[in-house]
Amino acid sequence: MVVQHARRAALFLLACVVSARVAAAIPDGLLPNGNFEAAPATSQLNGTRVMGRYAIPHWEISGFVEYIGPAQKQGDMILPVPEGAYAVRLGNEASIRQLLNVTRKAYYSITFSAARTCAQAERLNVTVAPESDVLPIQTVYTANGWDSYSWAFKARRSAVTLIVHNPGVTEDAACGPLLDSFAIKTLQVPQRTKNNMLKNGDFEEGPYIFPDTPWGVLVPPLDEDDYSPLSPWMVLSSTKSVKYLDAAHYAVPRGAHAVELVSGVETALVQDVRTVPGRPYRLEFSAGDAGNGCVGSLAVQAYAARGSVKVAYQSQGKGGYERGALEFTAIANQTRVVFVSMAYTMKNDGTLCGPVVDDASLVGFRNNAARRLLL
């Protein structure tokens, strides 16, 4: 009787601990006050400048941070806010941070919106220790000036601090990027499937996209050893991104997501795959347009080992795609599969656009005879 009681109590306690752990980790979606709609007390503001370190609910600030409301002007220009009525601006060397309760060892991606104001080559240093990357935010890909950016990290502890810092030093201390709409998403680690040596070949696992954000999410270039929001795909470039798209707002060749190569030859989308030197392989993929008015001669070039193929696609800007295929023989233990857009293309509104890549697969054969038999 006593034993049973004790056991029941222990089970109950265990259940409490488990549910407390589950409840503590942050859900996907907007961070607490991630859209800055909860305002500082007016006593904490001097004009637009936020005075107190803890004045913005759920955030901690340092340096020259402004709280930007509707119809806030910069000279003669009104600073628009993408979501709700409020955003923040980080001046020279200013930063904002938030403590996040996460699941240790899980992977997360952060999505946020940013707009450049007066400085030209703005950058943001995003950190969840020990990982840190400086994201370039100089090229604007939307007509309204706001882009969403993504960044990923592996949680080393159950409580981590997200820090976004403006490393800029411009003459006007207030010049700096506007920020809004911070969200988080737990990333599943993509696995190899039976018929595809590429992981996440359909790009279904990627950063959070707000359901009401129509402009996709940029995946910026990162150091090769940092976790990518599109893992195991990596974006290689000095300053240019690719754009992650959702089927709710774009024409996507397959599934719910695809990638738009918006930066021409300056950016490569790559994945490294284990291969056996000397064996034949076949890479297939879709190349098309996102139905977003990107009209013209688009082309995706794919490379693997010593092989390459160019898929030319004449876009009416209304959606559609073609399949491309590349057969190659591996020359090393590891083969880098590379997708690049061969040209810059512009939409009517002057923003850059490019071909869409989706549904990529790689299969290997024991030898050429086996390959011929199967295809």
Residues that bind ligand NAG (CB under 6 A): 24, 32, 46, 101, 125, 127, 132, 134, 163, 165, 167, 332-333
- Tell me the C-alpha distance between 248 and 216, whole Å: 10
Q: What is the DSSP secondary structure assignment for residue 196, as one 8-state letter? A: B
**245 token code pair:** 């798209």
Nearer to ligand NAG, 169 or 332 (CB): 332
Nearer to ligand NAG, 30 or 134 (CB): 134
Nearest residue to 282 (alpha-carbon basis) of 309, 252, 321, 310: 309
From residue 217, alpha-carbon distances to 207, 257, 296 in Å are 8, 11, 23
Tokens 């990982």: give the residue. Answer: 131
- Tell me the C-alpha distance between 5 and 179, whole Å: 54
The SS3 call for residue 341 is strand
- In angstroms, give the least distance from the CB of 186 to ligand NAG: 15
Nearer to ligand NAG, 132 or 361 (CB): 132
- In angstroms, give the least distance from the CB of 230 to ligand NAG: 22
Q: What is the DSSP secondary structure assignment for residue 39, as one 8-state letter? A: P
Please list the residues that pair with 336 across neighbouring strands: 272
- In angstroms, give the least distance from the CB of 20 to ligand NAG: 8
- Tell me the C-alpha distance between 367 and 355, whole Å: 33
Nearer to ligand NAG, 125 or 237 (CB): 125
Tokens 């029941």: give the residue. Answer: 8
- In angstroms, give the least distance from the CB of 100 to ligand NAG: 7
Nearer to ligand NAG, 35 or 301 (CB): 35
Nearest residue to 301 (alpha-carbon basis) of 274, 271, 264: 264
- In angstroms, give the least distance from the CB of 163 to ligand NAG: 5
Nearer to ligand NAG, 30 or 265 (CB): 30
Task: Provide CB contacts within 8 A for 227, sequence distance 6+.
Answer: 107, 131, 152, 153, 154
- In angstroms, give the least distance from the CB of 270 to ligand NAG: 18
- In angstroms, give the least distance from the CB of 231 to ligand NAG: 22
Nearer to ligand NAG, 158 or 196 (CB): 158
From residue 339, alpha-carbon distances to 157, 234, 237, 270, 282 in Å are 35, 11, 12, 6, 15
